[in-house]
Amino acid sequence: MTTEIVTGVAGFIGSHLAETLLKEGKKVIGIDQVNDYYDPNLKRKNLAILQEYSDFKFIEEDIQKLDWQELLKDVEVVYHQAAQAGVRASWGDTFYHYTERNLNATQVILEAAKEVKSLKRFVYASTSSVYGNAETMPTPETICPQPVSPYGITKLAAERLCWLYHQNFGVPVTALRYFTVYGPRQRPDMAFHKFFKASIQDYPISIYGDGKQTRDFTFVSDAVAANLLAATNKEAVGEVFNIGGGSRVVLTDVLDEIDRIIGKPLKRNHVERAKGDARHTSADVSKAKKILGYNPKVSLPEGLALEWEWVKGLY
């Protein structure tokens, strides 16, 4: 039975990914420090689902404090999902969390991975934030990244580290640039979660700027499917892929859809545009389709309805 590691396993995407692997009969070692960037109780809920599987082993620790040489023995795939997330929180005196958790933590694993013979794939979870305000829409992977947030800078730097370890030591890396992932278990600092919660608790939501910004939204099961494809496709090694949902949507249109799903209008409060937020994101996923066979399946209305059901159960 193959053993695979998922870092950030208590988080939104990490927990879904680990659950899918366990359902497929894989042995999973999950690693997470369960920090307090958002409510640790939500992470514990995610973990409780995984801990029902006998093939799941959980290690609660800081990535940089682990013996990775020992951990990686006989491991075939590492899905490195752990990161300090959040564009707006990456300014100011908390920036060291981003350098430590996004850059240094990635380097520690890569350094150990160069000695491991069993490792077939190191899948790095990157982000559309590396593009910043891209001038080409939809944005292909060949565009020069120009992050507009400190968060995006650290994620891009870690992605570059992956290529260095691939080129110099043959570590079999693949990077996936996620475009706004949503769905059940979404972090509470992310827009849809905040919107649904505000509707239940009846307070206004903050819309940054004019609400005409666009995003490419990706349902979590599609992001998980991309990881599995990236881990098994030989042509994925040394490549970076955009992972989007296949449709670019204006924020105000999304809000109208949310109003329809919850059956009443959200109270909206327009505030100043946030520093570090890209105005538009749109994924050109033709490379992922061609090489990985990636094909996003969940439409935005369908995905939003699933997230709404989950949020209702939470609050």
Catalytic residues, by residue number, are 151
CA distance 82 to 113: 16
Instruction: List, in order, residues 6 or more apart from 30 with CB less than 8 Å away.
Output: 5, 6, 9, 10, 14, 18, 47, 50, 56, 57, 58, 59
With contact defined as beta carbons under 8 Å apart, do 227 and 253 qualify?
no
Q: How far is CA 180 from CA 12, 190, 283, in A?
A: 12, 9, 10
